[in-house]
Chain A
Amino acid sequence: MNATKAATPRRRMAAPQAIFSTVFKARESGIVLALILLIAFTATRNSRFLSAQSIRDILLGTAILAVLAVGQAIVMITRNIDLSVGSVLGLSAFAVGSLLRDNQGVPVIVALLAGLVLGGACGVLNGVLVRFGQVPALGTLYALRGVNYLWAGGQQINADRLPESFLDFGNQAILGVPWLVLIGLVVLAVATIVLRGYRAGRELYAMGSSPQAAELAGIKVSRNTIAAFLVSGALAGLAGVLFAARFGTIDAAAGTGYELNVVAAAVVGGVAVFGGSGTVWGASLGALLLTVIGSCLAVLDINQFWQQAIVGALILLAIGADRLVASRVARALRKRDSHV
């Protein structure tokens, strides 16, 4: 069964590939269908939902969540999970926020790089810990959050203390595309290309399908695991900068609970919890779906508290559905093999 999972991404073993591509097409078209229904329903109830402002809000929110979801997808493809992303986002947002507050002249690009580097360092720490134990994801979630509280204390960084250029970056557009969305698209494109066409990307899928086989095939599993966490951490750091730029107000609790949304976006987008399959494109669609749901709740005047329950239910639904589909596919494959 694992071998068939490895074949998911195109080429090799034509027969299972056909089945899998239908499954994943079904997944992605399912999300698109859900999105269309949701948007149509909400728009008929309240026309405000399709106003330029509301669409822009959804796109900006999606951009931040999608950047995180791309990183999470990369980690989950290797059959791991990164629970620290919310804390890294918070830490990076606060760090970059205080950097800019104290040095008004710092250009935006330096802020972005600082977030990437800080997040990347946290990611390496995670990756190294994961090679030794299994739950450190949980440990670093709270430990990093604790660092943030210790550092931030009760203080809050307000928008009026941040440089104008930075806040413009968070809310303005270039050629009609908001900067945040542009960055999200670039991250998505680069990750897609690397995961599809480059050796490093293929190795991650192989590791997730069967860590043992990957090791035997000469893949440097340790190095790649740490690299996957590095990327996820760096992207969470980047998302922290985007968060700071968009909201302008940052305290120690920034990004609390984001990890749940990110995991939900990835699994809803078809990234398997068992590793070895899924795309960053799917994860980003998942991020879009989650953001739209949140926005619909607000527009339809439904109790905002449903949001988190929906996130949890979506995680369970997605992984449950994946499981049922996978076992059905496995059975179908077995049957065919026995006939041949």
Chain B
Amino acid sequence: MSEAALSEPALTRGRAPWVQRLASWDTAVIVLAVLALLIASGAVHNFGTSRNFTFLLLDLLPVALVALPMTFVIVTGEIDLSVASTLGLTSAVMGLLWDSGLSIETIMPLCVVLGAVLGALNGFFVTVLKLPSLAVTIGTMALYRGLALVVLGDQAVAGFPRSYTSWVTGTVGGGVVPNLLIPLVVLALAFGLVLHATPVGRKVYAVGSSEQAARFAGIRVRQLKFWLYVVSGAVAGLAGVLWTLRYSSARADNGFGIELAVVAAVLLGGVSIFGGKGTLPGVLAGAVLLATVQNALRLQDVSSEALNIVTGALLIISVLLPNIVNSARAALRRRRAVIQEGKG
């Protein structure tokens, strides 16, 4: 899909010895994702069918979509746990507006704007009040989901226009690739370009590496973070619209808990939870790997709630492993230094 973008970061490390290249996290995840796809196609009954492949891509979509801005947010060293609730609230509001008789063409942009406003509220608390983003987005996670319930209760709104719902669930030319992959690829390319080839992207990394240094270098850290939250909310809003159309059902609990999959995909893709590190191709590979494992297990009749073990464990491992490797390296370096001192 974004083959060219995928291989780029690997190539830039071309001079490194092969061990180091193997150790490069995002390369490893890309390889792992491909391996998982191959192994699952061979070993899991029904995995390799074109029908299942379409479903795999459709399930991957909301997570991959929301993971794009989440990558930016986590690279700056912050987090946004409210994305799933933003998705739910936009879905609920979409149902409400549809019930009130507005046209779908008006509702969809309104929902994206609503997402952006919800993101702006996160941004306000994090950048203006300077509160820790984890605590803020836990609060908005509860608030937005609660408001979604207030708006729609346990009702579901259905009956969205056929032309939209069938496009969202349809495939390109009736083939394997879902239509929805088109907006994802476009957005992924846009986000990838911004992160890896523009001053904005370099600022994001600078802020994540050292916020103080970034500020001294003249970067408007708070402004940057604020807009990242706005974008994160807007994309979550878009995901809410697509989710609603895909299942042709606006419900308050839509997307419940997908923040776990999103954060897991981002961290699995090699983004450091401490900020400053990671690439977008790695994140997309992380999302593919996660979706593949989940899909294969689901075909083996593992319930989707129980799948949280796998997602949670992958998240924990992707935080732990780099830390263990780093501390092992540091210990090795210290020991070498001691040995050299002893020789001297």
Contacts and interface: CB of A to CB of B under 8 A. Distances in A.
Interface in B289-331: 303, 305-313, 315-316, 319-320, 323-324
Nearest to A81: B134
B315 A138 contact: yes
Given A132-B319, A323-B130, A309 B146 contact: yes
- By secondary structure, the B interface counts as helix
A238 B306 CA distance: 24
A309 B150 contact: yes
Nearest to B151: A305
B273 A134 contact: yes
B40 interface: no
B315 to A, nearest CB: 4
Interface centre among A83, A136, A263, A308 (most CB of B within 10 A): A308
A139 B150 contact: no
Contact of B138 (A149, A260, A324): A260
A232 B132 CA distance: 21
A143 interface: yes
A186 B65 CA distance: 49
A99 interface: no
A333 interface: no
B312 A306 contact: no
Contacts of A324: 129
Interface string A184-200: 00000000000000000
B81 interface: yes
B226 interface: no
B140 interface: yes
A312 B141 contact: yes
Contact of A316 (B125, B132, B257, B309): B125
Interface in A292-339: 303, 305-313, 315-316, 319-320, 323-324
B85 to A, nearest CB: 8
Contacts of A214: none
A133 B322 CA distance: 9
B142 A260 contact: yes
A142 B308 contact: yes
A5 B125 CA distance: 21
Interface residues of A, number: 44
B307 A146 contact: yes
Contacts of B319: 129, 132-136, 139
A325 to B, nearest CB: 12
Given A132-B320, A260-B138, A319-B136, A306 B146 contact: yes
Nearest to A306: B150
Interface centre among A139, A252, A260, A273 (most CB of B within 10 A): A139
Interface string B67-101: 00000000000010100000000000000000000
Interface in A134-160: 134-136, 138-147, 149-150, 153
Nearest to A128: B320
A95 interface: no
A221 B134 CA distance: 21
A146 B135 CA distance: 23
A267 interface: yes
A324 B128 CA distance: 11
A139 B316 contact: yes
Contacts of B131: 273, 319-320, 323
Interface residues on B, range: 35 or more
B263 interface: yes
Contacts of B140: 312, 316
Nearest to B313: A143
A239 interface: no
B274 interface: yes
Contact of A146 (B259, B274, B308, B316): B308
Contacts of A150: 303, 306, 309
A264 interface: yes
A308 B142 contact: yes
B145 interface: yes
Nearest to A144: B312
A267 B135 contact: yes
Interface string A235-278: 00000000000000000100000001001100100000110000
B181 interface: no
Interface in A105-143: 129, 132-136, 138-143
A320 B129 contact: yes
Nearest to B252: A305
Nearest to A308: B146
A315 B150 CA distance: 18
A264 to B, nearest CB: 7
Contacts of B141: 260, 312
B267 interface: yes
B209 to A, nearest CB: 16
22 contacts: A129-B316, A129-B319, A129-B320, A133-B323, A135-B79, A138-B259, A139-B319, A141-B260, A142-B260, A143-B309, A143-B316, A147-B309, A263-B138, A305-B252, A309-B142, A309-B150, A311-B142, A313-B139, A313-B146, A315-B142, A316-B136, A324-B129
Given A143-B311, A309-B150, A323-B131, 8 more contacts: A129-B316, A134-B319, A142-B312, A150-B309, A309-B147, A309-B149, A319-B139, A324-B129
Interface of A: 81, 83, 129, 132-136, 138-147, 149-150, 153, 252, 260, 263-264, 267, 273-274, 303, 305-313, 315-316, 319-320, 323-324
